[in-house]
Structure 1
């Protein structure tokens, strides 16, 4: 009894908020003690419903590209644009968006469209115009042009030296036409002198924008016309044109070029395989690595420009290849080139951009550390960064992009430039033709 009175006295001395709190706690404890759960009898449920979910409906988060869906860096982001010089701007502004591909063994039409990120809807419309389009053969040359919306404007299949198939976009799909070589091919020599920019000087000499683009790309690994061309340089070009009844038709294909840059003489000639070589038959191309790492890593998300968001169903392109690399994995330059960007981006994280000649650019995203700076020249296989998990990323990885002629392509499938010479069995014939062509161009410059 004394203990109860003592406790009551102590409680009476406590502030009112403390007394209220103790009262509430005591009530809750008493209620929990007195409460007894109602008894029940377990019953076995024999009714079972099976729901079938198709395998195609599953999409593992671990297999998504490492940027959260909907957060892919847009190409129109000014901070993510690739710098270009005056010549690059002129080529982009005036030349059509021409692309070429030589069919290799095992390739299909759909696979080629996938490599270059071309709309499959365009391919199906062309097949409606002429189903024979899908019957492509090894060694056949494909050419296409794109409009401002990256749709296929025209598509050409060089079936043989005699027959060519043409597909042209119309208001109702595509039109189809097969042409037969009926005229005579004649070489036309054009010459000029650089008085301002090479581009404008070549236009003045009679070359059209597409031919200038052919020349610039043929020499992109040997000579930079935008940076190295100088006032007073001289050049001569052979263009092969088709004549019917004495009248030139078609734009003509560049066959050879002789360029004099001070005491530096540059000569290239096109072989029957469509590639350019020097007078000794050496390739002008420099190979690019297929993979930007020393060892192979699992591809966690492949190139897919038509990927759909699994929830919204909207197109959310994945314009690169994601490799599941641990943080700190050395990242290697895919080829010789110049670093044009090495900076931070809110979505891409730390990223590096390397320009390889005039045609190719590579991008490396979400890096842990950058090992190069803008303006630095790098060589194939050189360490340029360490992979990481920076920016808006769901896990450690390397996002790698290959860009060809300002368009992302599938780096794992698209043909890469190979530094292979003219085959041994053809080198004698090629050398004879190339030396004679060089002699004629020298005469053209001296006349």
Structure 2
């Protein structure tokens, strides 16, 4: 009985077109078994000498929904070094000292299952989290989920910020997930941390009192405006406003970064966090660069969707599909999903001709099975620029483009996950933000090292 339930569950996890194809095959085989030819008046079965049993191996069946895609079992390891964007010194320092935190702001109509599927998180972990506390399913629009993963890809810790002072916490332990609600009962106060760059920005920020995770927040916030790995110079000065919780005059948290003022030669950089959790400059303009959802100039049929939990219908083994396949004819122009730098442009036995583009320090995109490459390593590209022509190279069941979006070194569903936008603060709220930004910048300037 358990095997039957397992088979049913596995079938439910298959894409709809796969289930349809398997159902059609099952109906056909059932009809063959039920059909029996009628005997003639002599009792002989008409046409019996012509009957012949032919065994059709299930592994040879060609499922139409997998045309213009990759064959099952040919999945590319997302951690394969050939597909990784190279890391500079700052990337390495952060990777060694910071547990990467992923976050998502709940949108209208979203539930916990939809969020887990967007980011390819283990569904088994979701069920265990619900078992730990069912209120995790009660998500409100605008609430923020933040989580970290362990080395095996499991959700190690998950937090839900319910309001300005209340957050739910779930931690994975030996006996499963433990839940508790944390309420800030103290007073939130700004703390100013200042410093001067004497070596690397990372070490100088640590010396000023910032934590590795706070440094990562600043690095990601300014990744398009000021690259701390490339642009920081000896002698640069900075001041950071951090909001910490105090109880009886004692700080009980390391705090949240609220604003940064950075001086580098003639460059004057100021950013402040808004109520949406994003950072903006003093005029309320976004620091982000936008990404487009589809790297093509028009829509094509999706022949295989993002599904890191995909199972082979025969073997039952996990055969993840970490991207989205578009059934594009050979020679279709492929466009850069956003501004960035080409870090890989080469050939691979499975991926065929492929390109990897790094977008700032948070996002990477991959384009596989290409016919012709139009860019080379080191090229800077702009969103919408032609970078290749789609093809049918490598392990492929038909002409198509395999496209992957990587966020913080994890493949995510490019068709559904929220993408960075370059929109400014709404005009109705921008005036109040600019006034507050001017006050914050002046306060940071007063404590800036001379």
Which interval holds the TM-score relative to the shorter structure?
0.7 to 0.9
SS at match of 1:428: helix
Residue 446 of structure 1: CA displacement? 4.3
Match of 2:374 in 1: 371
Q: Distance in 2 between matches of 1:105 and 1:185?
A: 30
Match of 1:178 in 2: 181
Match of 1:272 in 2: 275
Residues 396-417 of structure 1: CA deviation (Å, up to 9, x unaligned): 0000000000000000000001
Decide whether aligned partners of structure 1 residues 244 and 363 sit closer, same or farther in structure 2, where only a CA change above 3 A counts: same
Does residue 140 (structure 1) correspond to residue 137 (structure 2)? The answer is no
Match of 1:401 in 2: 404
Structure ID, larger Rg? 1
Match of 1:60 in 2: 63
| Mapped contact 2:330–2:392 kept (Cα < 8 A) | yes
Counterpart mapping for 1:36-185 below 5 A: 42-43=45-46, 60-63=63-66, 66-185=69-188
SS at match of 2:217: helix
Normalised by the length of structure 2, the TM-score is 0.86
| Mapped contact 1:65–1:318 kept (Cα < 8 A) | no
Match of 1:246 in 2: 249
Q: Distance in 1 between matches of 2:413 and 2:46?
A: 59
Residue 199 of structure 1: CA displacement? 1.0
Does residue 417 (structure 1) correspond to residue 420 (structure 2)? The answer is yes
| Mapped contact 2:261–2:444 kept (Cα < 8 A) | yes
Q: Distance in 1 between matches of 2:115 and 2:45?
A: 63
Unaligned runs of 5+ in 1: 1-38, 46-57
Which structure carries more relative contact order (alpha carbon 8 Å, separation 6+)?
A: 2
Does residue 333 (structure 1) correspond to residue 336 (structure 2)? The answer is yes
Does residue 291 (structure 1) correspond to residue 294 (structure 2)? The answer is yes
Residues 73-106 of structure 1: CA deviation (Å, up to 9, x unaligned): 1134332222111111111111111011111111
Q: Distance in 2 between matches of 1:274 and 1:77?
A: 33
Residues 324-348 of structure 1: CA deviation (Å, up to 9, x unaligned): 0000000000000001111111111
Decide whether aligned partners of structure 1 residues 61 and 269 sit closer, same or farther in structure 2, where only a CA change above 3 A counts: same
| Mapped contact 2:370–2:388 kept (Cα < 8 A) | yes
Q: Tell me which of 336, 359, 363 is aligned to 1:360.
A: 363
Q: Distance in 1 between matches of 2:449 and 2:202?
A: 22
Residue 427 of structure 1: CA displacement? 1.2
Q: Distance in 2 between matches of 1:293 and 1:211?
A: 36
SS at match of 1:97: coil
Residue 64 of structure 1: CA displacement? 6.2
Normalised by the length of structure 1, the TM-score is 0.86
Decide whether aligned partners of structure 1 residues 131 and 194 sit closer, same or farther in structure 2, where only a CA change above 3 A counts: same
Q: Tell me which of 191, 195, 198 is aligned to 1:192.
A: 195
Match of 1:6 in 2: none
Q: Distance in 2 between matches of 1:173 and 1:201?
A: 39
Q: Tell me which of 301, 305, 328 is aligned to 2:304.
A: 301
| Mapped contact 1:155–1:166 kept (Cα < 8 A) | yes
Does residue 439 (structure 1) correspond to residue 405 (structure 2)? The answer is no
| Mapped contact 2:103–2:144 kept (Cα < 8 A) | yes
Does residue 236 (structure 1) correspond to residue 239 (structure 2)? The answer is yes
Residue 62 of structure 1: CA displacement? 2.8
| Mapped contact 2:341–2:379 kept (Cα < 8 A) | yes
Decide whether aligned partners of structure 1 residues 161 and 78 sit closer, same or farther in structure 2, where only a CA change above 3 A counts: closer
Decide whether aligned partners of structure 1 residues 65 and 131 sit closer, same or farther in structure 2, where only a CA change above 3 A counts: farther
Corresponding pairs, count: 397
Q: Tell me which of 374, 380, 388 is aligned to 2:383.
A: 380
| Mapped contact 1:97–1:147 kept (Cα < 8 A) | no
**For structure 1, which segment, 67-76 or 93-102, has the greater mean C-alpha deviation from structure 2 after superposition?**
67-76
